[in-house]
Amino acid sequence: MSSRPRGSSFVIYLIILFAMVFLAYSFYSQRSQSVLEKPLTDVAALVNDGQVTSIRIEGDALRLELIDGSNVISYKGPESTAIEQLVALGVTQDALTSVKIENVHPPDWAALLSAGGSILLVIAMFVGGYLLLRQFQGANNQAISFGKSRARMYTGDQPSVTFDDVAGVEEAKSDLQEVVEFLMEPEKFVQLGARIPKGVLLVGAPGTGKTLLAKAVSGEAGVPFFSISGSEFVEMFVGVGASRVRDLFEQAKRHSPCIVFLDEIDAVGRHRGAGLGGSHDEREQTLNQILVEMDGFDTDTNVIIMAATNRPDILDPALLRPGRFDRRVILDRPDLKGREEIFKVHVRGKPIDDDVDLNILAKSTPGFVGADIENMVNEAAILSARRNKTTITMAEFSESIERVIAGPERKSRVISNEEKRITAYHEAGHAIVAHVLPKCDPVHKVSIVSRGMAAGYTISLPEEDRRLITKAKFKDDLAFALGGRAAEELVFDDITTGASNDLERVTELARAMVTRYGMSDRLGPMTFGQKEELVFLGKEIGEQRDYSETVAQEIDEEVRKIVHGAHQTARDTLVQHMEQLHRVAERLIEIETLDADAFNALMDGDSKDGPDHTPENPPSLSDVGPKATKPVTDHPQTSLDLPPAPAPA
């Protein structure tokens, strides 16, 4: 919006404010005139009778407040003071001392406001109407401002974010430190003939802190920061996006040195020629203008273009070539040390209890990004406030981790004894297989309390961050996922729908082992199938088969072989540890939740964690009641890959 309409609006608001003041004063004057008026002799009688609490003297006017709360006005003569005239009318000194007397000298302009209020009000109405009419007449000129940039500018005088507020991405901060040095000391680079990168592309998964890091660069350099989303360039009108790009870069040049941040640049920076509307749609015209403006920058403009995306694979190659986005900064998921540093940032200023160990919390949150950790800390603070605590304890942090992973608890959910027993044996099967097999992650918690859409869950957390996963690890994870189904088969001699999500994840992982990772002994180190993707949509729409029907049959056989082998491993493991299976399941039915220490004690046969509940005759579905008509769980889709997700019941 241009400055002229904004200034006119300010004048209109100012005139309306004056008009309201005049109206208020006029109303006050009229109200004052409606107060009961009495002669001075009656006032003297009221004072002597003790009916007056206060007298306010304003020139020749006397405003009295009576005991009953009413107000009276009277006027004295100009020849002497009000006190002298009241004494002359017989008011005693004792009566005067009991009355609060206040002399008020009204301002000189009060009479002017009272006299000229009506005239000024009429003038204000005429002037305001005239300006409003001019603004409405200039509405057609708003089309010019429609093509102006909508970027929000933040001055660097008082930075709200610095590098101290960003943790877990030390390499990225080191790369961007050069950008800060260029903005603060450009001569240092120019004297050596160095060409400063014109653009910096931040690439990372959602929540890794791309926008936060861009603001930190602006805060460290102390320069203006222009922020705009890629989707804000494109409108339904032709040419608006390109116009906004031109206006944005003009503003940046006027405020140099500065930073221009284009968030979610993949909204306008996708491959040209792949649009649904052909090669001349509005999005591509906007991208063309961005390419021209970036390539036309001089080295002495001191303007850095930063952009963020989580889909660098769909960006146009012309946008990534040297001379435009020269430098690419990768923001990966934080490791154990990085998560601990992120925790330190987000707990800063919060009342944390002494029992909170940030290192343990970092180990308990593998795969979490900065946004996940921030959400987890906020959930812990909300839980502490709900429980009327003054500090945030480790219990709230543990509960918030489970809320983020599996959802909130649903203790009010009513289930039958049959479903509770099935769920207990299902989760016990998961936990025992994970405990026994060497490549599975240690069991962190087992519960049959409903969370989210799951009737129960088993959480296993790795002891260290893992980047590479072996074939043996995959096989043990497959057996872990099938442990619940195997427990149902062995204990109840029947199966339920509770393992539906387990089977989906197992089948997906086994097929990936064969077709993507080359982990099939029969088919060898080869990949099968090519992903089909629409660049404009940014989404995979299917897989192109580059193999024959014979190979497809072999792939299916290998997938079936891997899944059946994992299922047999789970069954064999549970048969060898049937006593522990009954013990853990019965304990779950009794107390519903087992932490790592309690579970390990039960596996070791420690009697202090509860009596041995191993039944002489294992129960069957016919023993516990009629057949279940509803699935035990309907857990949302998760992956066996890191981060580990709770095994659904």
Cis peptide before 643 (omega within 30 of 0): yes
- 493-495-498-501 Cα dihedral, nearest 10 degrees: 120
Enumerate the β-bridge partners of residue 32: none
Spatial neighbors of 495 by CB under 8 A, at least 6 apart, are: 485, 488, 489
The residue ranking higher by pLDDT, 207 or 230, is 207
Cα–Cα distance list, 208 to 166, 202, 220, 419, 594 (Å): 10, 10, 19, 40, 33
296-300 contacts: CB < 8 A, separation 24 or more?
Answer: 297/198, 299/190, 299/195, 299/196, 300/186, 300/190
Q: Stretch 518-534: mean pLDDT, rounded? A: 79
Above 80 in pLDDT, residue 10? no
Q: CB–CB of 428/491 below 8 Å?
A: no
Higher pLDDT, 237 or 222: 222
The encoded tokens of residue 160 equal 């709200």
Q: Is the dihedral of CA 285, 290, 293, 295 positive or negative?
A: negative
Using the predicted structure, report yes or no on whether residue 300 has a pLDDT greater than 80: no
- In the DSSP assignment, the letter for residue 194 is P
For residue 100, the model assigns a pLDDT of: 77
Task: Check whether the bond before 257 is cis (ω within 30° of 0).
Answer: yes
- Show the tokens assigned to 419: 């479903």
Rounded to two decimals, the pTM is: 0.63
> Is the pLDDT reported for residue 128 higher than 80?
no
| Residue 68: strand, helix, or coil | coil
> Which DSSP state fits 353?
-
Whole-angstrom CA distances from 284 to 202, 268, 279, 325, 620 are 22, 7, 7, 18, 65
Are 225 and 189 in contact by the 8 Å Cβ rule? The answer is: no
- Give the pLDDT mean for 578-588: 91
Does position 606 have pLDDT exceeding 60, yes or no? no
Handedness of CA 516, 522, 523, 526 (dihedral sign): positive
Determine how β-strand 258-263 pairs with β-strand 225-229: parallel
Does residue 146 have a pLDDT over 50? no
**Torsion angles phi and psi, residue 101, rounded to 5:** -110, 130
Across 7-16, 110-119, 298-307, 611-620, least confident range: 611-620
pLDDT at 610 (0 to 100) = 41
**Residue 413: HSE in the Cβ half-sphere, 13 Å Cα cutoff:** 18
Largest CA distance in the chain: 126
Residue that the structure tokens 């990372």 belong to: 204
Q: Are 484 and 496 in contact (CB under 8 A)?
A: no
Domains of the chain listed by start with CATH number? 3-110 (3.30.720.210), 152-331 (3.40.50.300), 336-406 (1.10.8.60), 417-648 (1.20.58.760)
Rounded CA-CA distance 491/313 in Å is 50
Work out the pLDDT band at 569, boundaries 50, 70, 90: very high
In the chain, DSSP finds a helix count (H) and a strand count (E) of 24, 17
pLDDT for the residue 25:
63
The residue among 428, 441, 418 whose CA lies nearest residue 580 is: 428
Q: What is the mean pLDDT of residues 130-134?
A: 62
CA distance 228 to 244: 11
Lowest pLDDT segment from 330-334, 458-462, 541-545: 541-545
Q: Is pLDDT above 50 for 645?
A: no
- pLDDT at residue 108 in the model: 52
User: Which one-letter amino acid corresponds to residue 425?
Assistant: Y
Query: What are the catalytic residues?
Result: 427
Residue closest to 456 by CA, chosen among 423, 425, 488, 428: 423
* Confidence bin at 619 (pLDDT 50/70/90): very low
Distance, in Å, from the CA atom of 613 to the CA atom of 499, rounded to the nearest integer, reads: 25
Q: Looking at 79-93, 244-258, 270-284, 306-320, which range is the least confident one?
A: 270-284
Beta-bridge mates of residue 309: 203
**DSSP secondary structure letters along 447-503:** E-S-BTTBS-EEEE--SS--S---HHHHHHHHHHHTHHHHHHHHHHSS--GGGHHHH
Answer yes or no: is pLDDT of 112 > 60. no
Closest CA to 502 of 514, 492, 517, 489: 489
585 φ, ψ to 5°? -65, -45
Residue 316 near residue 269 (C-beta atoms within 8 A): yes
Per-residue model confidence as pLDDT tens digits over 392-416: 999 899 888 888 877 777 766 677 8
Nearest Cα residue to 228 out of 217, 244, 212: 244
Dihedral sign, Cα of residue 76, residue 79, residue 80, residue 85? negative
- Say what the pLDDT of residue 107 is: 55
What amino acid occupies position 503? L
